[in-house]
């Protein structure tokens, strides 16, 4: 028996979510449907221009940990906040989800990270993230006993932006593999892939990472191709398992010569795509760590993604375990 099913490592971010139209994005030079890194000054400017907003603890890997716990899995999280109000909000929220979270807060400056997320009428989210205290995450924040006792350690590609976090991830991989555990990552964003393509490929080809999550655009960007079949063939050769989401078409999972195409779970209304990929990973990893087949893992991922798409905010407001039972997946 292991103490944890999934440990996730990521940027601890509080999301500030508001609706807007496409013209607002144009006027404020915001790249649509992407994660834009910003400094403190631009964070203040965008915040001043936002309409009514919802504050919710987020961060890609944090959302995944919360999703695993919501399914009934045993989840843990590493991520750095500051000793400020947003840091207290983040810590309270993730612990309230049932996630083990003991990363020590670091002073009051830089402040806790925040992401201004603008949701357009089509449900697309455009993120503008000030990393703040996130950049302080380092090897000293790795709880060796937690990594050693987690079936899978999962991290977000966004962590390749703050340099010391890379050291923390490599230390997690060393501990995980020494203890017979697995490492997983999400490519996070096609722009992120563009910045770190060669490093991501090295993580996969060296065996540092076993399981990779991506969406279609990220997979195409990784191999600098517009041929999705080619991208799937290449990613299958480069890692043990790859799960690639394809939007309204669902997901494709590859392992060696095996391939599973799984339809998307139906939704009534596409409200907000924030957290969809994070929750897909949560459902998939929950299933994987419970010994489910890859097709079932993808079905659980698609269900979780569908539920979060039908609401505002990145963390499900309903029980994922109850929903999975309702649809015969648990």
Average pLDDT over residues 70-99: 96
Dihedral angle sign, alpha carbons of residues 195, 197, 199, 204: positive
Predicted TM-score (pTM) of this structure: 0.93
Q: Per-residue confidence at 181, pLDDT binned at 50, 70, 90?
A: very high
pLDDT at 162 over 90: no
CA distance 244 to 292: 18
Residue 318 binned pLDDT confidence (cut-offs 50, 70, 90)? very high
Asked whether the beta carbons of 150 and 76 are under 8 A apart, the reply is: yes
Q: What percentage of the chain reaches a pLDDT higher than 90? A: 92
Q: What is the mean pLDDT of residues 263-286?
A: 95
Pairing of strands 4-9, 150-156: parallel
SS3 65: helix
Task: For residues 323 and 84, give the distance between their C-alpha atoms in angstroms, rounded to a whole number.
Answer: 35
Structure confidence at residue 141 (pLDDT): 98
Task: Indicate the SS3 state at residue 318.
Answer: coil
Helices (H), the chain: 22-27, 40-49, 60-71, 85-96, 144-148, 163-178, 190-205, 216-222, 228-238, 276-289, 294-309, 320-326
Domains (range + CATH), the chain: 2-11+58-107+136-325 (3.40.1190.20)
| Position 274 confidence tier, pLDDT thresholds 50, 70, 90 | confident
Q: What is the CA radius of gyration of the chain?
A: 18
Share above pLDDT 70 across residues of the chain, in percent, rounded to a whole number: 100
């Amino acid at each position: 028996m292991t103490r944890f099913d999934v440990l996730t490592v990521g940027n601890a971010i509080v999301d500030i979510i508001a609706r807007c139209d496409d013209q607002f994005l144009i006027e404020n030079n915001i790249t649509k449907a992407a994660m834009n890194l910003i400094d403190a000054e631009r964070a203040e400017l965008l915040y001043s221009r936002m309409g009514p907003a919802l504050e919710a603890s987020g961060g890609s890997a944090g959302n995944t940990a919360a999703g695993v716990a919501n399914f009934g899995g045993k989840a843990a999280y590493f991520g750095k906040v500051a000793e400020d109000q947003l840091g207290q909000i983040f810590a309270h929220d993730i612990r309230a989800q049932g996630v083990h979270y003991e990363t020590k807060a670091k002073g009051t400056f830089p402040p806790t990270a925040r992401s201004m997320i603008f949701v357009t009428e089509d449900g697309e989210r455009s993120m503008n993230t000030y990393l703040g205290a996130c950049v302080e995450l380092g090897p000293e924040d790795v709880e060796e006993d937690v990594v050693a006792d987690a079936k899978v350690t999962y991290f977000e590609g966004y962590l390749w932006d703050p340099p010391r976090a890379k050291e923390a991830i490599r230390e997690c991989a060393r501990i995980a593999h020494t203890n017979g555990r697995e490492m997983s990552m999400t490519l996070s964003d096609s722009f992120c892939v563009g910045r770190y393509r060669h490093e991501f490929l090295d993580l996969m080809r060296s065996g540092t990472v076993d399981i990779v999550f991506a969406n279609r655009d990220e997979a195409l960007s990784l191999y600098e191709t517009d041929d999705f079949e080619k991208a799937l063939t290449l990613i299958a050769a480069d890692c043990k398992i790859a799960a690639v989401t394809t939007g309204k078409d669902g997901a494709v999972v590859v392992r060696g010569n095996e391939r599973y195409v799984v339809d998307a779970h139906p939704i009534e209304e596409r409200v907000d795509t924030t957290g969809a990929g994070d929750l897909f990973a949560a459902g998939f990893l929950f299933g994987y760590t419970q010994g489910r087949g890859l097709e079932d893992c993808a079905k659980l991922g698609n269900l979780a993604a569908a539920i979060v798409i039908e609401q505002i905010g990145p963390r499900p407001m309903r029980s994922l375990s109850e929903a999975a039972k309702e649809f015969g997946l648990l």
